[in-house]
Amino acid sequence: MAVETQARKKPLSFSVPTVAAAGAFLGIFVGASNGSTLVGIVAGALVMATVAFAAMRLVAESSERSVRWGLIAGFAILGFLLGGFPGLVMGALAGWFFGWFTYWVGLGRYRVPLPPYLTAGQVLWHYGFRVICGAIFVFLITPILVVMPLSFNAQDFFTFTPEMLRFDPEGYSLKHYRDFLTNPEWTSAVRNSLMIAPVATLISVSLGTLAAIGLSQSHVPGKQAIMAILISPMIVPLIISATGMYFFYSKIGLVGTYWGVVLAHAVLGIPFVIITVTATLVGFDRSLTRAAANMGANPVTTFFKVQMPLILPGVISGGLFAFITSFDEVVVVLFIGSADLQTLPWQMFTGLREQISPTILAAATILVAISILLLTAVEMLRRRSERLRGMSPG
């Protein structure tokens, strides 16, 4: 059977309840925002069941495009009546989704990209698994999506004001970003973070790379035990590591010093470097180093001329993870640092505990943007590493 012939109209006994269930799920949020979740569930199910029944009965008489545009307009009007302009936007989006979803289910289009031999249960699991993954993603990303628009609040609040909900330009401002860039407390914290994180990253990369190369050798005894010890800082609860560092560093006079914080952050970053470099070394062709040795190259020259260029993506990826770990860390610096070494996360923690400054939201948004850029760089390096090792097409 050709894949294109798999899509066919489904009976109303299947499509109507499926679309109604999706409408009931939407009704949970609409009903909760208007004071009655149960009414929202029932109303959502009834409305979408009616829409699905009408759309599937009218599919031969009216074009699909007209029905879908009608749903967008109807949901937009309903959203405007319930929630003003924001409701109109959300209603239009809901109308677009349900217009697509109704025909996707009713005409059996969900079968098109799948092999024709899959059973109904396998099809259900195929899409159910993706819905579960999407729900987890939404659960993880929602706090970030809430913080980012709040950072533009014109008022000193941690909640959406009526002006923001109406998309009134007067409800938005860059004053929290101006405070972040001009307030000496925040600029000093950023400066301290930028003084600590790069040095801690350099130490982490140097020691972590050497450890990964050493542990990749087949003749090293007790490799598993050594690896477990080296990556333990990322397994042991951070508060325990911070307490242990405090008691150890206090004996050697490093508590409250710049190098104490740097070394503590380097300890936290080394496991990330070891793991990423070790993963890169898995596909490394060791005959290259033997060939270099046969040509007369010493171990140092072999490392920098042969081995390092091939594992460089993994080294940089580990360095980026180590930098993020140092730049975002707050627990250890509370134990090891001092008033003169307040980092940006420490200042954010202080702002939450003592003065509830909305500038924290601006700082958090900037940190999220930096993290996204760094993680994008990590992904690009990972793909480059796979191409260099022949694990993916160029």
* φ/ψ bin of 191: left (φ > 0), alpha (ψ from -120 to 50), beta (otherwise): alpha
105 and 224 both lie in a single domain: no
Same-domain check for residues 234 and 366: yes
Same domain for 105 and 189, yes or no, is no
| Domain span holding position 291 | 183-388
Alpha carbon distances (Å) from 318 to 66, 263, 297, 372: 53, 17, 27, 16
Would you say residue 17 lies in a domain? yes
Tokens of 211: 């450890």
Q: Which of 117, 147, 164 is the last residue of a domain?
A: 117
Which element (helix H / strand E) includes 210?
A: helix 184-215
With b for 16 or more beta-carbon neighbours within 10 A and e for fewer, the 218-249 pattern comes to: eeeeeeeeebeebbebbeeeeeebbeebbeeb
Residues 234 and 370 in one domain: yes
What is the pLDDT at residue 170? 82
Residue 4: pLDDT band with limits 50, 70, 90: very low
Question: pLDDT higher for 394 or 113?
Answer: 113
Q: How confident is the model at residue 392 (pLDDT cuts 50, 70, 90)?
A: low
Residue ending a domain, choose from 60, 91, 117: 117
281 versus 193: the higher-pLDDT residue is 193
The 3-state DSSP class for residue 172 equals strand
- Which residue among 117, 141, 174 closes a domain? 117
- CA 265 to chain centroid, in Å, comes to 22
Q: Is residue 156 part of a domain?
A: no
Both 235 and 328 in one domain: the answer is: yes
Which pLDDT value is given to residue 180? 87
Instruction: Please check whether residue 294 lies inside any domain of the structure.
Output: yes
Evaluate if residue 326 carries a pLDDT over 50: yes
The mean pLDDT of 88-103, rounded to a whole number, is: 86
On whether both 85 and 201 belong to a single domain, the answer is no
Question: Which CATH number characterizes residue 198's domain?
Answer: 1.10.3720.10
Domains in the chain, number: 2
Alpha carbon distance 2, 189 (integer Å): 62
* Buried residues in 298-321 as b, exposed as e (16+ CB within 10 A): eeeebbeebbeebbbbbbbbbbbb
Q: What is the pLDDT of residue 173?
A: 86
Residue 262 maps to a domain: yes
pLDDT digits (tens, 9 = 90+) for 304-321: 777 777 788 788 888 888
pLDDT (tens digit, 9 = 90+) per residue, 67-86?
888 888 888 888 888 777 77
Please answer whether residues 212 and 277 qualify as being in contact, where contact means their C-beta atoms are separated by less than 8 angstroms: yes
- For residue 76, being part of any structural domain is answered with yes
Q: Are the beta carbons of 20 and 14 closer than 8 angstroms? A: no
129 domain-assigned:
no
What is residue 34's three-state secondary structure?
Answer: coil
The residue-averaged pLDDT of 333-362 equals: 82
Question: pLDDT tens digit string along 193-225?
Answer: 999 999 999 999 999 998 888 888 777 788 888
Q: Are residues 225 and 331 in the same domain?
A: yes
Query: What confidence tens digit (pLDDT) does each residue in 137-193 have?
Result: 888 888 788 888 888 888 877 777 777 777 777 888 888 888 888 888 889 988 999
- Overall average pLDDT of the 228-239 stretch: 87
User: Does residue 110 lie within any of the structural domains?
Assistant: yes
In this predicted structure, the answer to whether residue 391 has a pLDDT above a threshold of 60 is no
In the structure, how many helices (H) and strands (E) does the chain have? 16, 0
**Cα angle 195-234-363, degrees, rounded to a multiple of 5:** 45
Q: In the numeric block, which tokens belong to residue 109?
A: 């289009």
3-state helix, strand, coil in the chain (%, to 5): 80, 0, 20
Closest among 193, 185, 136 to 330, alpha carbons compared: 193
Q: Could you tell me if residue 366 is inside a domain? A: yes
* Whole-angstrom distance, CA of residue 182 vs CA of residue 362: 13
**Residue 221 and residue 111 share a domain:** no
230: closest CA among 209, 254, 255?
Answer: 209
Predicted pLDDT at 5: 44
Closest Cα partner for 270 from 233, 303, 245, 216? 233
pLDDT of residue 60: 55
Local structure of residue 153 (DSSP, 8 states): B
Give yes or no: residues 206 and 72 share one domain.
Answer: no
The CA distance from 163 to 25, in Å, is: 29
Tell me, yes or no, whether 365 and 275 share the same domain: yes
Of 100, 98, 99, 78, nearest to 88 (Cα)?
78
Between the two ends of the chain, the Cα-to-Cα distance in Å is 34
Tokens of 274: 């070891």
Please indicate, yes or no, whether residues 70 and 211 belong to a single structural domain of this protein. Answer: no
Q: Tell me the C-alpha distance between 263 and 201, whole Å.
A: 10
Please tell me the predicted confidence (pLDDT) of residue 24.
86
| Domain match, 198 and 299 both | yes
